[in-house]
Every structure is written in C-alpha cells, then in structure tokens.
Amino acid sequence: MPALAGRLKNIAVSASVVMGTRARELAAEGKKVISLASGEPDFATPAHAIEAAHQAALSGDTKYPPTDGTRALKLAVQKKFRRDNNLDYALDEILVANGGKQIIMDALLATCDQGDEVLIPAPYWVSYADMAKLATGTPTFVNCPQNNGFKLRAEDLDAAITPKTKWLFLNFPNNPTGASCSRAEMQAIAEVMLKHPHVWILTDDMYEHLVYEGEFCTIAEVEPRLKDRVLTVNGASKTYAMTGWRVGFAGGPKPLIKAMTNMQGQLTSGISTVSQAAAAAALEGPQDLIAERAAIYRERRDLVCAMLADAPGLSCHKPEGAFYVYPNIAACLGKTSRGGKRIETDTDFALALLEEKLVATVQGTAYGMSPYIRISYATDTESLREACARIQEFCRELS
C-alpha cells in the first residue's frame, strides 16, 4: 500500500469527536447515554432561514457561487458587524467560508511559513494547535489559569511573544471554559499587541451572543489602531443553531482577505448557495431569538454549576459565557471507580464516567489543561439534570 503523508503523524483526531463516537456506539447498543461532549445547540434553525434556503433552491440559485461569498450574504455580514460590533468592513474585506474552521485554516495557510509561531491561550479549542501544524506553523501556548478565571493576563501574553510569533488567537467567550473578557481586560491585551506590530490577531467570536456576566467586546472594536491586522471571525453555527449549514465568515484587512480567498479558491471554492441564503436570512431577520435562547442557556449554566458543586471532588468555576463548564477533577485522582477503573488522569475520569454512568464529556488534556473535563450544557434541561445526577453518583462512589 502506498504511504500516507508524514504530516498526519502529528495530527490527532478531535477528542470531542472520539468521545461522541463512543457515546453513539453505546447508544446503538440500547444504552441510555447522555452526551455532554458536543458543542452543538439543541435548538432548531430559525424557520425563516430554512424557508430562505428552500426558496433559493426553487428559484434556481444552485450554481457555483463566488469564492468569497454571495453579495447578499456579504451585505448581511457587513450589516451584522456594524450592528453588533461597531466595525465597518468593505465588501472586499469580508470572506465567507465553510464554517469558522475553514476561515481559520485559510488564514493560516495564507500567512504561515515553516516554524512561524501561532500563540494560543490555553485552555483552547481542540483544533487550533493541529490546524497550525498543518499550515507548517508551530503552536505555542500561554497558560490562562483558573485562579485568573481562565483569562489571558497581559503580562503573560507579552512574555510569550517572540520575533517568530505570526499569530495571536483569541477566543472569548472561550471554548472550553466559558471565560469571557471585560472591556478593560481586552484593552490590556490590546495594549500589549500595539507593542508587537509583526503579529496578526485572530479573534474567534463564535460565542459572542452567549455572555451572561458583563458585555461582549471584540479587540478591533476595543482598539481601532489594531484593526488593520485583526481577523474578526464569526459564523451562523452557535448564534442561530446552524451547525450543519456550514457558514463561517470574517472581516479583515483587504490584502489578508484577498490572500485567504485565493487559498480558498484552491481548497473548496465558494460554499453552498442555499446555505448562504439561509445565513443571510438569519442575519437579516428577527434577532429576538438570540436573547431568548441565551436566557435559557444561562438557566442551564446555573443548574449545572449548582449540581456539580454537590459532586464530591469537583471544583467548578462559574463561566461568564458560551455553553460549557470546565470543572477541575484533581481531588478525584488516585481513586478507583465503582467499576474498578483507576483514575490517574482526566482521560481516565471521562472514559470511566462514560462506560459506567453513560455520560459523555471530554477530557481536559484535549484542551491543553489538566486535570479537567469539559461539559457542554447545549442540551435539554431534563437531560442535563439527569446527567449531573449521574456525575454526582459517579463521584460519590469513588474510593
């Protein structure tokens, strides 16, 4: 058999995918699994977005789209940035792609040379590091400890930047911790970045509308002097429950967007026309559902945090945003589960919890900080209540 590419040896399968797959296998065996491993809203896509896709298909809008996005969607994105973020981007400063993940990959492939450093605050979304590696970059990490609310400290950031640093990634509200930066905290980060003009800044704002304490802010809005080297990334997946439609978008300086569009032209070309019609309708249509759903997520957060506080051995920081909690399981290490599994790592904890109590979570190792587990509360309240009761039982039975 011919050999596979050497680059694959350093690329891991996403831990959330692995845990989700195992959860589905157990469910297929007839077991009552509750999966808290996936960061996917349980709400429906807005009806008017679905109808827009339907009408687009019926009207014949099924041909190759422009590589950088349809004019209708780019206009909607332009309005969204003005409305929500007080940012003005020309249409040639906007790119639409197959989800936020492709936006990020386009950016890395268009800018990174061998050995360029991509600075990633940890804990971090599982794909950032492997995407940097695929682009021949070197992921480097700056620790964001729990005693600082999992937020990035300006002094730590400043110390981590080197002449080889090409990108700083920001993701607040954060996956996996739910940490969200105040305007003052973001301004402190911005002050550091003003000192390092050789570094691009990518801000992954997918959870911008899921902030429960304080208000959302993005770095190009907070510090306009940085705008010409900031890529502001967003999408339809979390805000409008449109994960399967695969619509991401970004605003950034024209030379960068042009380079990213060139890269995307060789990778995938433009994205599904009907998905773009749906996303445009979501962005242009009524926005009431955003606050309504955020209120439900907040109730779920409070429920999960309260129940995890009663689980022996868990210490759970209350997040300001997103739909994740990231409890510390250090006090559970060195113990043995009722099923006889020795808990030496957070991976051991997550696997034993899944096999014995049928609750799927993701180990903190995957996000660059242990010993933690990530729990997604993007599921219905009754399932969350039952899952947390099982976690409490699992922890009580450790010995």
The answer to whether the CB of 73 falls within 8 A of the CB of 270 is no
Per residue in 23-49, pLDDT tens? Answer: 888 889 999 999 999 889 999 999 999
The pLDDT value given to residue 27: 85
The pLDDT value given to residue 10: 80
Count of Cβ atoms closer than 10 Å to residue 162 Cβ = 12
The pLDDT value given to residue 243: 97
* Alpha carbon distances (Å) from 273 to 44, 60, 221, 260: 20, 10, 30, 19
* Alpha carbon distances (Å) from 199 to 22, 151, 161: 40, 20, 9
pLDDT tens string for the chain (399 positions)? 898 998 888 887 777 777 878 888 888 999 999 999 988 999 999 999 999 999 999 999 999 999 999 999 999 999 999 999 999 999 999 999 999 999 999 999 999 999 999 999 999 999 999 999 999 999 999 999 999 999 999 999 999 999 999 999 999 999 999 999 999 999 999 999 999 999 999 999 999 999 998 999 999 999 999 999 999 999 999 999 999 999 999 999 999 999 999 999 999 999 999 999 999 999 999 999 999 999 999 999 999 999 999 999 999 999 999 999 999 999 999 999 999 999 999 999 999 999 999 999 999 999 999 999 999 999 999 999 999 999 999 999 999
pTM of the model: 0.96
The pLDDT value given to residue 1: 85
Strand (E) positions, 53-164?
A: 94-97, 117-122, 138-143
Q: Give the integer Cα–Cα distance in Å for 394 and 348.
A: 13
Collapse the DSSP code of 310 into the 3-class scheme (helix H, G, I; strand E, B; otherwise coil) and give the result.
coil
Per residue in 125-141, pLDDT tens? Answer: 999 999 999 999 999 99
The pLDDT value given to residue 16: 74
The pLDDT value given to residue 98: 97
The pLDDT value given to residue 21: 82
Q: Give the integer Cα–Cα distance in Å for 33 and 383.
A: 10
The pLDDT value given to residue 139: 98
Q: Give the integer Cα–Cα distance in Å for 104 and 132.
A: 9
- DSSP per-residue codes, 13-61: PPHHHHHHHHHHHHHHTT---EE-------SPPPHHHHHHHHHHHHTT-
Domains of the chain: 6-44+289-396 (3.90.1150.10), 48-284 (3.40.640.10)
